[in-house]
């Protein structure tokens, strides 16, 4: 098979995560020009802030991300923090809790690379399916179901249930409201006990009930991948072991809200210097 590309995990807020990652991405572009570069970028949040200069670091590293990354999955610490508190009843989520949830998303996104699947089978396909223009490459990730073991005993979640959950803003990994934006592309990556008939029915329901708006210059289909490998859970972890799960990757104009927040924080700091 040979080398397909690179997955880079880094934060926007820290010095190493922003500075070193920028240098690394630039070098990879020079040394491996044609290979795909996918990023999982941790967007800073006030609750788990580690540095005063996070807005500076974030703005500066975004410049490199725009030029050198092919597809960048944003993960907002604040959104993950809230999901852990609300869905998993963890009063004060730690980095371990946050990372385990992020790991589930990474696992879902890379499942088709690791097991037999029909969509996003290699790294270049993510770009093809999610990125309409090279610089608009920041898909929003949403994962469902995020439920604790206690709740899982009482709930049998169907394909329709978990699909609907993906369109709830509070299940997203970045704080923004897609209802106020328009979709450019949507990938639904299912895993476990899922059949195409149920998926088609679930999507039809979502389309009629949610009033999902696509931009008028893009094909309006939902790309669907089904992987029969069931989701795995960490023993003694926060998440329940479930029979089926879905990760939705959507390229939406609503992500601009996240950038606007960052810009605002940058401007506030810069004006006080």
What phi and psi, each to the nearest 5 degrees, are found at residue 190?
-95, 150
Determine the straight-line distance between the first and last CA of the chain, rounded to whole angstroms: 52
The answer to whether the CB of 138 falls within 8 A of the CB of 127 is no
Whether residue 125 lies in the annotated active site = yes
Helix, strand and coil in the chain, % to nearest 5: 45, 20, 35
Q: Which of 67, 125, 155, 168 is catalytic?
A: 125
Which secondary structure element, helix H or strand E, spans residue 186, and what is its range? strand 183-192
C-alpha–C-alpha distance, residues 8 and 75, integer Å: 13
Residues contacting 229, CB < 8 A, separation 6+: 111, 115, 191, 192
Helices (H) and strands (E) in the chain, counts: 10, 7
**How far apart are alpha carbons 217 and 92 in whole angstroms?**
44
Q: Active-site residues: which are they?
A: 125
């Amino acid at each position: 098979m040979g080398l397909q590309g690179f997955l880079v995990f880094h934060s926007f807020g820290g010095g190493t995560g922003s500075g070193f990652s920028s240098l690394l991405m630039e070098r990879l572009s020079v040394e491996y020009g044609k290979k795909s570069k996918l990023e999982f970028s941790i967007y800073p949040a006030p609750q788990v802030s580690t540095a005063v200069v996070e807005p500076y670091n974030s703005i500066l590293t975004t410049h490199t991300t725009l030029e050198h990354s092919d597809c960048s999955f944003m993960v907002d610490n604040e959104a993950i923090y809230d999901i852990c508190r609300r869905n998993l009843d963890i009063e004060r989520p730690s980095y371990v809790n946050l990372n385990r949830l992020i790991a589930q998303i990474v696992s879902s996104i890379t499942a088709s690379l690791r097991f037999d699947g029909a969509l996003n089978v290699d790294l270049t396909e993510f770009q093809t399916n999610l990125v309409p223009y090279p610089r608009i490459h920041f898909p929003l990730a949403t994962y469902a179901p995020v439920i604790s073991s206690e709740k899982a005993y009482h709930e049998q979640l169907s394909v329709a249930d978990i699909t609907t959950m993906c369109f709830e803003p509070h299940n997203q990994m970045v704080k923004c409201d897609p209802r106020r934006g328009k979709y450019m592309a949507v990938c639904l990556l299912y895993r476990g006990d899922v059949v195409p008939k149920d998926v088609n029915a679930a999507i039809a329901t979502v389309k009629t009930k949610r009033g999902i708006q696509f931009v008028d210059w893009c094909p309006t289909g939902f790309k669907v991948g089904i992987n029969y490998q069931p989701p795995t859970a960490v023993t003694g972890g926060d998440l329940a072991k479930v029979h089926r799960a879905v990760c939705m990757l959507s390229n939406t104009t609503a992500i601009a809200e996240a950038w606007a927040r960052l810009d605002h924080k940058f401007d506030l700091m810069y004006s006080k210097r």
